[in-house]
Structure 1
């Protein structure tokens, strides 16, 4: 697929290429620098911050224990506001100006997929993207998948598990409300594919533009999906847009189960819905289902969860402004836990490189990671034809004011 770059971005890229490669970024002794582009401001800024905080909580812990002769890890964050253009420019800067060791922990499908052609363009420099916060297919297939290593399950994995469970309780008339971009279309396609296996199709759909806030009115879209006779709605959105849709659907009389994907940031979405419930006296938190790609951070029987809670519970770093407002970080969240696990994997990759870390060795080292224990009950496994470490999907619903594992699907049986 041919990619056409925006004029201003193309000029910036050509200018930096004419300058030639920058000298290695000034780094501390035995330090590797990774470039991270994510939303730290705007409607989805808190998602980027939570992911960054979880990542850095583990990496700070890791760096303190490297010891003499080891290599420490530094992450350079750059704000893209969840917009493809700034993400592209950040990536050009990381590669050409900053000469980072690799790209790591990018957040979002529209932003991460937009920079994939750069990985191909700079293949001679061995630029790889490590552990992005997205389950999109372009990062997992040809022609770009060989430049990307993912830890999390894909959106196709999440939608398949959701659809299979919904069909098992007789809910086969599925409507989809999705973000009108690469993220939303990937989730929509995942639902479509999962239904097609059973000879079914999406009964109705509605879309919205990326960047919608909680103040957006989605009552028209909610009524459209209800009028089509859907018996469940799957939302492929972000925390603000999904919370707004749930509010407006419930206000319109919709009592159907409403499901969402891991990228939503279910903890932040639930915060918005609980605040709206308190304001209006109406409960917006019932019959919600969320797929997750990490276990619940309350499953303290898992050693990885215990380590996360021990480190994250007292972590004060990784705070950035969100939308110009004061940001109060959550002590624990699904998003920061995923960032934490990605930090563990990044540290393991660097550790395995020993005394000779190099970009060229990234595929060799990553593909050598078989059955790596993250302490979550399932091991990460990579290989020459496997650049996604985990396939596990966890289904949660609101119970006692938090998203917890679904204990029974019978409540939603038709």
Structure 2
């Protein structure tokens, strides 16, 4: 396959500005795109309180793409990513996305977070650019159906349904929700409320924290006063860790459940021994146990690369997302790759097993997986599934 000029060309001025904006992130030294390179654009948090989410996802994706490129890429074409830092702020993400689209990147890939992705998707739609594997499970990015958007992971509704089922099966019905005060937090709150309503229950208390903040005192006071059996947390690792510590200091003895976006290893690192017993739902296979072929492939490539990539759930999701993107490229019809032919290739994936991780994409369903399971922090910086 050879990209058409209209699908991959980057104007010199737009490209120079893009590289200048991305250079601080250690982006590859890129030249104007040639016929053997496919350039993806990624706006994500690479600095700030959510930085580890972007850093780890990107590391996992690059691990896969680097290995693929070393074998000749797909049809002789290398895949590269231009990263731009948005600090997990929607306005910065929108600005980055506008620059990436002006530079005519082939697709937008691996955006981190709900509020940022919600800012970017309308821009991608207007620019007719594929929007692949955002690191979010928000229903607002999946409904209504968008032909340009493809999702690797299960939704927050899937994750919160699993959490609520686990808690109620244990007889823990007094459930509170601590959530980020934005579209991500609302998506998780809505999923939890929906799952509780199916059991004729509702949250006993809710409280919020601002995005990129660890000011949790008011939330701790509100929720602790309701004496919940468990607190479902819908935020990133810094604020969730701050909440857990503050709640325990206030005498709360219940359990804490998080959805996958929290950044499991980052949360474990933040909490240390205070993490013992904290539960996190996951949407990709464990990166720590080589029980599945996909994990063995992941760990083997990390080893071959000198162990520079940390194996964790975020980097595993980046790895699988890159694998999904490459599979769509392989299946793109025709000799000349275009965005439309790539979309057709993605929709042709059908039902596949990526080393034991099942994916399914069709023309009418662009959500590849609904896999979700629970994991627990052990208090020694590790995660058990």
TM-score (normalised: structure 2): 0.88
Pairwise CA distance, 1:71: 1.6
The equivalent residue for 2:331 is 352
Task: For residues 70-117 of structure 1, give each alpha carbon's deviation from its aligned partner in whole angstroms, at most 9, with x where no partner exists.
Answer: 221111111111111111111111112x11111111111110011222
Pairwise CA distance, 1:175: 0.2
The equivalent residue for 2:261 is 263
The equivalent residue for 2:175 is 174
Counterpart-to-counterpart distance in 2, 1:77 and 1:330: 17
Between Structure 1 and Structure 2, how many residues are aligned? Answer: 357
The 8 Å contact of residues 329 and 346 in structure 2, kept in 1 or not, is answered as: no
Query: Would you say 1:396 and 2:375 are equivalent positions?
Result: yes
Query: Would you say 1:290 and 2:291 are equivalent positions?
Result: no
Spell out the pairing of 1:328-367 with structure 2 (5 A cutoff).
Answer: 331-353=310-332, 355-367=335-347
The equivalent residue for 2:203 is 202
Query: Would you say 1:160 and 2:150 are equivalent positions?
Result: no
The equivalent residue for 2:143 is 141
The 8 Å contact of residues 108 and 131 in structure 2, kept in 1 or not, is answered as: yes
The equivalent residue for 2:305 is 315
Please, which moves more after superposition, 57-66 or 377-386?
377-386
Task: For residues 138-165 of structure 1, give each alpha carbon's deviation from its aligned partner in whole angstroms, at most 9, with x where no partner exists.
Answer: 21111x6332100000111100111111
Match of 1:113 among 96, 100, 118: 118
The list of structure 1 runs, each at least 4 consecutive aligned residues, that deviate by more than 4 angstroms after superposition, is: 21-25
Cα distance, 1:66–1:210 mapped onto 2, change above 3 Å? same
Pairwise CA distance, 1:119: 2.8
Secondary structure of the structure 1 residue equivalent to 2:361: coil
The 8 Å contact of residues 37 and 79 in structure 1, kept in 2 or not, is answered as: yes
Structure 1 unaligned regions, length at least 5: 1-20, 275-282, 318-328, 406-414
Cα distance, 1:179–1:311 mapped onto 2, change above 3 Å? same
The equivalent residue for 2:244 is 246
Pairwise CA distance, 1:67: 6.2
Task: For residues 360-394 of structure 1, give each alpha carbon's deviation from its aligned partner in whole angstroms, at most 9, with x where no partner exists.
Answer: 1233111111122211x231100122110000002
The equivalent residue for 2:231 is 233
Pairwise CA distance, 1:349: 1.4
The 8 Å contact of residues 138 and 145 in structure 1, kept in 2 or not, is answered as: no
Pairwise CA distance, 1:314: 4.7
Counterpart-to-counterpart distance in 1, 2:343 and 2:140: 18
Pairwise CA distance, 1:69: 4.6
Cα distance, 1:79–1:316 mapped onto 2, change above 3 Å? farther
Pairwise CA distance, 1:301: 2.0
Structure 2 unaligned regions, length at least 5: 1-9, 16-31
The equivalent residue for 1:278 is none
Secondary structure of the structure 2 residue equivalent to 1:371: strand
The equivalent residue for 2:26 is none
Counterpart-to-counterpart distance in 2, 1:290 and 1:310: 26
RMSD: 2.0
Counterpart-to-counterpart distance in 2, 1:288 and 1:400: 9
Secondary structure of the structure 1 residue equivalent to 2:360: coil
